Amino acid sequence: MDEIVEVDVSLDSGMKFIGRDAEGREVVMDAAPEHGGEGAGFKPMALLLISFGTCTAMDAVSIMRKKKQDVARFSIHLKGTRVADHPRVYSKIEVRFVFFGRDLSEEAARRSVELSQEKYCSVGGMLRKAVPIDIKVETRPG
């Protein structure tokens, strides 16, 4: 059965908006000062990268744990390149996954990210239809 997701976005002041999900959690978004905002919240395109990064990170870390890999820390860095002309979409997205832990398998890390990208991450699945995504995976001690 299909899942319905509903959110509301409302104007707070100036160009600051509040997004709310069905459980009442909020996120603040605001335009830069040169566009009438105060820079007091996320820009929507940055929030898109954060959503993608969080979606695929949750998958990859969960899969690594199921593979009995001792992930002590994890970070993900995303860089989006936007075109100059409106609507200023991303022309490419670069993603670097870094798993930290003792005796981590590079193959397990690579496969975990691959499974996230190919099967589980819905945000990535949407983005891949519109923009090239370059993925790098690292394992480090610690």
Which tens digit of pLDDT belongs to each residue from 64-92? 999 999 999 999 999 999 999 999 999 99
Domain ranges within the chain, ordered by starting residue: 1-42, 44-140
pLDDT at 110: 99
Average pLDDT, the chain: 98
pTM over 0.85: yes
User: What does CATH list as the number for 44-140?
Assistant: 3.30.300.20
Query: In three state form, how does the secondary structure of the chain look?
Result: CCCCCCEEEEEEECCEEEEEECCCCEEEEECCHHHCCCCCCECHHHHHHHHHHHHHHHHHHHHHHHCCCCEEEEEEEEEEEECCCCCCCEEEEEEEEEEEECCCCHHHHHHHHHHHHHHHCHHHHHHHCCCCEEEEEEEECC
